[in-house]
Structure 1
Amino acid sequence: MAECALCRSHLRKWKRETAPAALWRYHRRTEAVTGSEDGVKVEGMTNFGPELRRRRLAAGMTLDDLAARVHYSKGQLSKVETGRQRPSPELARLCDAVLGAGGELSALAPGGPAGTAPGGAARGGGSASATGGSRPTRRQVMTAGAASALGLGAVPALGLGAPSVLPLGTGPAPGPAPVTVDSAADVYGSTVHQGVEALFHEFRRLGQTAPASVVLPALAAQTRALPSLALNTGGRTRQRLLLLTSRYAEFTGWMAQESGDDAGALEWTAHAVGLADAAGDRDLAAYALVRRGLITLYGGDAGATVEAAQGAQGLRLPPRIRGLAAQREAQGHALRGDRDACFRALERARDLLARAADADASETAAFGTTHVDDPAAMTAGWCLLDLGLPRQAAEALDREVARLPHHALRSRVRYGARRALAYALSGEIDHACALARPLLAEGEALASATIRVDVRRLSRVLARHPKNDAVRALSPRLAAALHPSAHLVHDREEAPRV
C-alpha cells in the first residue's frame, strides 16, 4: 500500500508539472558563464573555489598537476580557486572525480546538481513556457473523453486538484464489457491494425534518419486520426488499436523533444497515457515518468531526473519499464556526481533488462530504444562521462557504439557525439576531432535538439585548443551543426484535446 501511495504521488506531480510555468524550470539554460574580468570576484563563488583549493592541497597536488589531469590551463584553475571565474559544470565534475570528492565538490558549482534538486527555489516563478506552447490543461477531460467517446467505459478522474488514480504498476486493468459488433467489423479491424502497425515501424525507421521536424507533421496527423478509426473496428481489435495509438502518441512526444519542443513532448506523452488508460493499460503512465526524466536530464536537473525515475520502479511493473527507469535514475545520480548510487542503479537496470529480454518484446511492444544491443552497458558509458571519468567512458562507448546497426543513424550520432566528447575531455583532441567529423556531417541532416546538447559541450572543450589544426578544420562544421535553422522552421504540433 505504501508503494502504491508513492506511485500515486509521483503521477499527481507529473500531471501538475506539465504546465509550461513548471516546464520553465526544466527548459532553462544550463550553460555556465565562464568569463569574468580579471580581478573582479564573481557573485556566489565563495564556496567552490576555496573548497577546490583545500581538496587539491590535501591531495598533495599542485595547480600544474591538477591542470594536467583535467586538461584545463593552470591560469584558468587559478582564477576558479580565487573566485574570479565561474567553474563550468564540466570542470566541476572533472575536478570532483580527480580529487575523489564523491559529488560534494561538483554540487558547490553554480548551476550544479544541488541548485536543481527538487523543492528548491527554482520551483517557484516562471510564468511562461520556454517553448511558447499553449498550456497543457484539461488532462482530465482528454483522458475521460477518450474512453467515453470510444465506448470503453469510464477511467479514473485525473483532476489537478485532488487526483484519484489507479496506482502505477498494477498491470492492465480488466477489459471493458463485451461489445456486440458484426463479425465483419473484427475482420476489418484486424486488417487495419496490421496496416497501422506496419506504418508505425516505418515512422520509427524514418525517425532514425530524418529531422524530427520533418517526421512530426505526418506522425502527429496520423496519431490524431487513429482514435476515430478505432470506432469502426470490433471490440476485440479496438483495444489493440487504441494501445498501438498510444505508442504512436508516445513516439510523437519523442519527436517533439527532438525538434526542441519540450512542452509539446510532455503534452503528447500525457495524451499517450490517456489513450493507454482507455485501452485498459496502466503501464504507459509509468513509462511517461521515464520520458519526463529524459527531459529533465537534458535540462540539467539531476534531482528531478532521479525523482521521476524512482516513481516508475513499482514492483508490479514490467521488468523493461523498471529497467529503463533504473537507467534514467543512474543518469540522474551521475549528473550530480553520486558514483555509488549511480552504479547501484546501473546494476538494477542490467538485471531487469536481462529479465525483460527473455520475454516477448516486439519492436512495437518494447518501450525505449530498439537499436542499442546492450542498453545498460551503453548507459554505463554515458554515466562515466558525467561522473568525471572520461577515459573509462571513452573505452565503454568504443565497445557499444561499434555494435550499433548502420541504419540507426540517430543513435549512432547521439552516442558517437558522446564518445567524441569523452576523448576530448581525456585530452585526445585530434582523435576527438577525427571521430566528430563524419558524425557532424550526418548529424546536420537530423537537426536533433538533444544531440546538440553534447555537440555544444564538445564545441566548448575544443574551443580551449584554438591553435590545434584539427580543431580549426572542424570549426566550420561545428558551427553549422549548432545552428541548423533550415530544419527548425515548422508549425508546432499540439496534442489533441477532447
Structure 2
Amino acid sequence: MQRIPVGFGAELRRRRIEAGLSLGKLATLICFSKGHLSKIERGVKAPSHDLAQLCDSALNAGGQLSSLISAPERSVDEAPLTDADVAVPWTLRMQAGGESDFVAFDPTSPGGGSVPASIVSWSLAPPLLESGETNSALPYFRNVFDEFRRLGQLFGPAVVAQLCIAATSALRGMAHQAQPAHRGVVLRLASRFAEYTGWMAQEAGSDAASLWWTEQAVQLAADGGDDELAAYALVRRAELALYTGDSMATVQLARLAGQQARSARIRGLAAQREAQGHALVGDRDACRRALDRGAELTSGAAPPGDADPVLGSIHLPDLTAFVAGWCMHDLGSPAEAVTLLGDGLDAIPAESRRARARYGARLALALANVGEIEPACAIAELVASHVALIDSATIRADLLRLSRVLNRWPKNPTVRRTLPHLAIGLHTHRIGPGTPG
C-alpha cells in the first residue's frame, strides 16, 4: 500500500488558494478529476509523482511539492542490480511452441524443500512472423551455427552448450510460426544445433545428456523431412560405445548406420567408426577393410555451402589419416600410427584448439609408445594446455593413457617436467554443488 506523504495535501491546498485557483480550476489545469484532487488535499489519497510535478508547474512551486514526496518505493521487479543480484541463480524454461519464461531466484529465501522466491520473472511470447521473415532470418542463424562450431574449438561446453540450447529453442519456436515452405529448413537447422549440443554434452562427460540431445536432433530433423540424421545418430552412439571400450556395440551400431545412411559421407563415417571398433579387439583385417571402405566413401566433394551444415568433424584436414592412425595404435602398431599421423598436427589451424588437442593426444600417445619421449612430451604439454580450456572428457581419456605410458620413464627429466602439465589437463575444474564424484 502506498504511503501518504505527511503535509502534502495541506501544502497543496495552501499554494492553490494563494494562487487564487479553485479546486475545479486546478483540476482542469492538470487534467485530473476534481474529486481525486480533493481526496489528495484532505490526505485521503496518496499523490503520484506525476501529479506533484504537474501541480508544481501549475502553481509555480519550483519543485517544492515534489520534494514532499519521498523517492518512489521500487517493486522487487524494479530494484536496481546489486553485486549480490548479479550472482543469483536463474532459469530459462523454453517451451516447444516458442514460449519462454525467465525467472531469477532469491538465494536468501528460506529453503526447506519449498520453491525459492523469485526476484524477477519475464515471459516471452513466441515470435509472430510474417511471410518471408523466417526465410530472411535463416542465413543469420546459419552463420550463428558456424560461429558456435568455431567457438566450440576454443572453449568448453560450459560456454557453448548454453548458446546452442537457446538457439535450438528459438528455431523450434520459429518453426511453429513459419510458412509451410520454410518450416522444414528451420527444423533441420534446429536439429544441427541440437546435435552439436549433444556433442558438447559428450565432451563434458555426460553420455546420458549426449544421447538425449542426439535423439532430440533426430526428431527435429525428421519433422523437417531429413531422415539422414537418424543414421548419423547411430554413428554418434557407436562413438560413445567406443569410448567405453565396448567394441561389439561399436561395430554393430556403425554397421547399422552404414545400412541406413543414404549419403556417402555418413556411410564413410560409419565405416571409420566400425574400423575403430575392430581395432579395439585386434581384428586387423576387418579394420583395414573398413578403413578402405571409409576412405573411398569420404573422398567425395563436400556439400555446397548453401546446403544443411555438414555432419561430423570439419576441423581435421585429413580425417581418414587420423582415424587410420588411431586404429593402428589400438592394433598395437604405434610406429604405423606415427607414420600416418606424421606432421598432420601442423596442418590444423592454431584457433582449432579442440581439433589440435584431439590429434595431438593420439600422436603423442603413438610417439611415446615407440620411445620418442622428447617429441611426445612436447606435444603432450600443448594438448594439456588446450584441454584445460576446452574441457574435453574424450581427450582426457587419451591424456590419461598417455600419462600412464610416460610413467614408464619416471627418471626421465622431460617426463618429470611434463607429468605436472598432464595433471592440470586432467583436472576437470568442476567445483561446487552438483559436482560429479
User: TM-score, structure 2 length as denominator?
Assistant: 0.68
Look up the SS of the partner of 1:314 in the other structure: helix
Q: Distance in 2 between matches of 1:293 and 1:308?
A: 5
Kindly indicate whether residue 317 of structure 2 is the aligned counterpart of residue 366 of structure 1.
no
Matches within 5 A, 1:402-441: 402-441=346-385
Which residue of structure 1 lines up, in the alignment, with residue 240 of structure 2? 295
Asked if the contact 2:261/2:267 (under 8 Å) is kept, the reply is no
Kindly indicate whether residue 391 of structure 2 is the aligned counterpart of residue 460 of structure 1.
no
Write out per-residue CA displacement over residues 171-194 of structure 1, whole angstroms, 9 at most, x where no aligned residue.
xxxxxxxxxxxxx83420112211
Look up the SS of the partner of 1:300 in the other structure: coil
Name which of 151, 176, 189 aligns with 1:206: 151
Q: Distance in 1 between matches of 2:181 and 2:131?
A: 7
Deviates more, 1:412-421 or 1:223-232: 223-232
Matches within 5 A, 1:121-140: none
Kindly indicate whether residue 270 of structure 2 is the aligned counterpart of residue 325 of structure 1.
yes
Q: Distance in 2 between matches of 1:274 and 1:225?
A: 16
What fraction of aligned residue pairs are identical, expressed as a percent? 46
Matches within 5 A, 1:21-100: none
Deviates more, 1:224-233 or 1:323-332: 224-233
Residues 345, 433 of structure 1: alpha-carbon distance in 2 compared, 3 angstrom cutoff: same
Which residue of structure 1 lines up, in the alignment, with residue 177 of structure 2? 232
Number of paired residues? 311
Asked if the contact 1:246/1:271 (under 8 Å) is kept, the reply is yes
Which residue of structure 2 lines up, in the alignment, with residue 89 of structure 1? none
Residues 489, 209 of structure 1: alpha-carbon distance in 2 compared, 3 angstrom cutoff: farther
Which residue of structure 2 lines up, in the alignment, with residue 254 of structure 1? 199
Q: Distance in 1 between matches of 2:284 and 2:432?
A: 41
Which residue of structure 2 lines up, in the alignment, with residue 311 of structure 1? 256
Which residue of structure 1 lines up, in the alignment, with residue 208 of structure 2? 263
Q: Given residue 324 of structure 1, which amino acid in structure 2 is its aligned partner?
A: L
Which residue of structure 1 lines up, in the alignment, with residue 424 of structure 2? 480
Shift of 1:373: 2.1
Question: Comparing both structures, which one devotes a greater share of its residues to strand?
Answer: 2
Residues 482, 208 of structure 1: alpha-carbon distance in 2 compared, 3 angstrom cutoff: same
Unaligned runs of at least 5 residues, structure 2: 1-94, 99-128
Residues 251, 389 of structure 1: alpha-carbon distance in 2 compared, 3 angstrom cutoff: same
Asked if the contact 1:201/1:364 (under 8 Å) is kept, the reply is no
Residues 467, 204 of structure 1: alpha-carbon distance in 2 compared, 3 angstrom cutoff: same
Asked if the contact 1:212/1:446 (under 8 Å) is kept, the reply is yes
Kindly indicate whether residue 330 of structure 2 is the aligned counterpart of residue 390 of structure 1.
no
Residues 316, 388 of structure 1: alpha-carbon distance in 2 compared, 3 angstrom cutoff: closer
Q: Given residue 254 of structure 1, which amino acid in structure 2 is its aligned partner?
A: W
Residues 490, 198 of structure 1: alpha-carbon distance in 2 compared, 3 angstrom cutoff: farther
Q: Distance in 1 between matches of 2:154 and 2:379?
A: 19
Shift of 1:491: 7.4
Residues 363, 425 of structure 1: alpha-carbon distance in 2 compared, 3 angstrom cutoff: farther
Shift of 1:313: 1.1
Q: Given residue 198 of structure 2, which amino acid in structure 1 is its aligned partner?
A: G
Kindly indicate whether residue 286 of structure 2 is the aligned counterpart of residue 348 of structure 1.
no
Q: Distance in 2 between matches of 1:282 and 1:245?
A: 14
Q: Distance in 2 between matches of 1:303 and 1:267?
A: 22
Residues 203, 457 of structure 1: alpha-carbon distance in 2 compared, 3 angstrom cutoff: same
Which residue of structure 2 lines up, in the alignment, with residue 195 of structure 1? 140
Look up the SS of the partner of 2:259 in the other structure: coil
Asked if the contact 2:384/2:426 (under 8 Å) is kept, the reply is no
Shift of 1:359: 4.6
Write out per-residue CA displacement over residues 461-484 of structure 1, whole angstroms, 9 at most, x where no aligned residue.
111211110111112111111112
Residues 291, 362 of structure 1: alpha-carbon distance in 2 compared, 3 angstrom cutoff: farther
Residues 490, 377 of structure 1: alpha-carbon distance in 2 compared, 3 angstrom cutoff: farther
Kindly indicate whether residue 220 of structure 2 is the aligned counterpart of residue 282 of structure 1.
no
Q: Given residue 359 of structure 2, which amino acid in structure 1 is its aligned partner?
A: Y
Which residue of structure 2 lines up, in the alignment, with residue 218 of structure 1? 163
Q: Distance in 1 between matches of 2:252 and 2:306?
A: 29
Shift of 1:263: 0.3
Asked if the contact 1:313/1:321 (under 8 Å) is kept, the reply is yes
Q: Given residue 196 of structure 2, which amino acid in structure 1 is its aligned partner?
A: F
Residues 385, 449 of structure 1: alpha-carbon distance in 2 compared, 3 angstrom cutoff: same
Q: Distance in 2 between matches of 1:384 and 1:315?
A: 27
Q: Given residue 191 of structure 1, which amino acid in structure 2 is its aligned partner?
A: S
Q: Distance in 2 between matches of 1:296 and 1:318?
A: 23
Write out per-residue CA displacement over residues 262-321 of structure 1, whole angstroms, 9 at most, x where no aligned residue.
100000000001101111111111100000011111111111100110001127611011
Q: Which structure exhibits the higher relative contact order, with contacts defined as CA atoms closer than 8 Å and separated by 6 or more residues?
A: 1
Q: Distance in 1 between matches of 2:248 and 2:328?
A: 18
Q: Distance in 2 between matches of 1:250 and 1:257?
A: 11
Q: Distance in 1 between matches of 2:299 and 2:418?
A: 40
Q: Distance in 1 between matches of 2:382 and 2:235?
A: 31
Unaligned runs of at least 5 residues, structure 1: 1-144, 151-183, 493-498
Kindly indicate whether residue 389 of structure 2 is the aligned counterpart of residue 449 of structure 1.
no
Asked if the contact 1:309/1:329 (under 8 Å) is kept, the reply is yes
Q: CA RMSD in A?
A: 2.1
Kindly indicate whether residue 284 of structure 2 is the aligned counterpart of residue 339 of structure 1.
yes
Q: Distance in 2 between matches of 1:287 and 1:253?
A: 12
Larger radius of gyration: 2
Q: Distance in 2 between matches of 1:231 and 1:195?
A: 18
